[in-house]
């Protein structure tokens, strides 16, 4: 019941039925939000902006999952802005969301500012060597990521070398998943 009430509050927010403050009050006790498989873009073009505004203002959300939703570079820039303001999110899952190197490069600078994020899941996207280089350059500055999932991304040998350099320099990383990652 609690999860359904929180999800309803967030769905009302992205539909424009309630404002950010109301949605956060309705769901303030809940720490996890899964918006996977949502197709609000056709009905509500501003749903992403509303979600990012709520994320930036949230002080209780610990885990956000947005998987199987195509995420663009402009959306990742908005998420970047929200993550810079958020000081509670520890887990971000963006699996199977068609994230490109450019989109990841738009998001990764947020990890220089956001020191709460410890788990980052990017499985099944379109991230290659270039995206990894940008990501690692930024997350090494704070070195708070303890779990990283890059499974099912098209990495070439240069990408695995970049990953090896990251692993060698990171003191925080405890779990790394690369299942199904093969050279492109």
Domains of the chain listed by start with CATH number:
32-177 (3.80.10.10)
The share of the chain scoring above pLDDT 90, in percent, equals 53
Burial class (CB in 10 A: 0-12, 13-18, 19+), 123: buried
- For residue 9, the model assigns a pLDDT of 61
For residue range 66-120, list pLDDT tens digits in order.
999 889 999 999 999 999 999 999 999 999 999 999 999 999 999 999 999 999 9
pTM metric for this prediction:
0.84
Q: What is the dihedral of CA 152, 157, 162, 163, to 10 degrees?
A: 40
Number of H helices, E strands in the chain: 8, 6
| Ranges assigned E (strand) in the chain | 32-34, 63-65, 91-93, 119-121, 147-149, 175-177
Q: Which DSSP letter does residue 152 get? A: T
pLDDT tops 60 at residue 4 = no
């Amino acid at each position: 019941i609690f999860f359904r009430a929180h999800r309803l509050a967030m769905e009302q927010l992205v539909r424009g039925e309630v404002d950010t403050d109301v949605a956060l009050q309705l769901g303030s006790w809940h720490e996890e939000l899964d918006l996977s498989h949502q197709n609000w873009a056709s009905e509500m073009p501003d749903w992403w902006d509303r979600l990012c505004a709520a994320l930036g203002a949230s002080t209780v959300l610990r885990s956000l999952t947005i998987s199987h939703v195509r995420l663009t570079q402009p959306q990742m820039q908005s998420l970047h802005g929200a993550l810079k303001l958020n000081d509670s999110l520890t887990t971000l899952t963006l699996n199977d969301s068609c994230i490109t190197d450019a989109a990841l490069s738009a998001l990764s600078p947020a990890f220089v500012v956001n020191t709460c994020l410890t788990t980052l899941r990017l499985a099944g996207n379109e991230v290659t060597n270039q995206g990894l280089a940008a990501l690692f350059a930024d997350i090494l500055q704070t070195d708070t990521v303890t779990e990283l999932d890059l499974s099912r991304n098209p990495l070439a040998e240069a990408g695995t070398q970049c990953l090896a350099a990251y692993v060698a320099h990171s003191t925080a990383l405890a779990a790394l998943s690369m299942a199904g990652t093969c050279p492109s």
